[in-house]
Amino acid sequence: MIEFIRNLSAFLVALGILIAVHEFGHFWVARRCGVYVERFSIGFGKSLWRRVGKDGTEYTLAMIPLGGYVKMLDERVEEVPAEKRHMAFNNKKLWQRSAIVAAGPLANFLFAIFAYWVVYLIGVPALKPVIGEVVPQSIAAQAGITPGMELKSVSGIETSDWESANMAMVSHIGDKTMQITATEPNSDVVVSRTLDLSHWSYDPESQQVLNTLGIMPYRPAITLNVAQLVDNSAAVDAGFKLNDKIVAIDKKPVTEWQQFVDAVRTHPDQQLSVKVLRDGQPVMLSLVPHSKVEPDGSKIGYVGLAPSIEPWPESYKINLQFGPLEAVVKATEKTKQLVTLTFDMVTKLFTGDVAIKNLSGPISIAKGAGMTADFGLVYFLGFLALISVNLGIVNLLPLPVLDGGHLMFFAIEAVTRRPVSERIQDIGYRVGSAILVALMAVALFNDFTRL
């Protein structure tokens, strides 16, 4: 329940900010173009709070926080007094109407730049994209990628950390090749490699892009020393203590952590004889792993302990922090990468290269908002930037109920020299609404299946 409230609160904060940004874009440009704005509303339905400003605009916070709107004076909607007709939206020049409509998505893109600017001013810790392992016979192995290489770019996109590398790779869904530049292990020599993606199978819902290519990021070595113990666990019952070093199971030497994991998982409710070193002295423990049932119905063992991990080499750590001017450049580049990736994903969603099951709705967004809010301000801002870019791109889709649909009608008007008839627009709104509702239904269905 607490997690639900946390996620919901973070979701409402994120949604409120992004809606306000989007609608303010419309509002600000409309005012600059001389259009009279009657109402600026965050949310729909019954008003929870309202105030009439000195400019005559009613500012409203409504009950249903799933959108917002800017109500402008418009003769197509209601009768306008003769003395105010020059302030009506429909009487403005085509370029002004287009600018007002486009200002919403543009505000979302500008907000993403601002959010990333703040992130880069504060600084965010990251790790260099150094490759730890390459799966034999994988796509990466066949391309000549080797352990120890540090990724520098993916198809021309700079990859200073693993997040940017992942995003650049995901954008290649449906492509035939991927161009990678990297430095050779323990060298500054930059080499280029071409990955053949003709047989690449990648499901964003259940797989990590790096794994499907056969790339394993570098991770510090996992030791055999016990670092954490869970209360009332099998490990505690067996007598494990912190700093114990596991050296053997059933008289077989253990040299890697995965050997211990495999032995535990394959022996649920079965006794194992474990030899540990405690303060340099051998101690024998009788361990009976508890069992749990996997989604496929199989039973595995677990004991409730975790090992210590070697520290990260300092040379692998980076802090993405820049001065005010450089942060603007980096934030703009990051937003451009997000816009390109999102546009590609939307396009590939319609072409079938990305499955419809990968479409996410408000529940997934709420979970993401809650998780990033827990991590801290810079991560929450990064999440806001991501969703803001997505909101901007979606609103530019050529569906009549969205900003992109209005811009499409304006483009037709620019060519034909006359407005699209109200009858055609009405049909377009009906079709667009049906498509949008269908997409939302699919997104919600996908959300529920992920719960």
Nearest CA-CA partner of 393 in 356, 354, 340: 340
Q: Following DSSP, what letter does each residue of 16-41 receive, concatenated?
A: HHHHHHHHHHHHHHHHHTTPPEEEEE
**Tokens in use for 443?**
């997104």
The CA-atom distances, in angstroms, between 135 and each of 22, 170, 211, 256 are 45, 19, 9, 18
CA 389 to chain centroid, in Å, comes to: 10
CB crowding 154-167: b at 16 or more within 10 Å, else e:
beebbbbbbbbbbb
What's the rounded Cα separation, in Å, for the pair 90 and 393?
A: 25
Helix (H) or strand (E) holding 194: strand 190-196
264, 295 Cβ separation under 8 angstroms = no
- At residue 422, what is the residue type? E
Q: Report the relative pairing of strands 299-302 and 290-293 from DSSP bridges.
A: antiparallel
Question: Which H helix or E strand runs over 168?
Answer: helix 162-170
CB 101 within 8 A of CB 406: yes
Closest alpha carbon to 245 in 288, 287, 308: 308
Tell me which residues are annotated as active site.
23
Do residues 152 and 158 lie in contact, with contact meaning Cβ atoms separated by under 8 Å?
yes
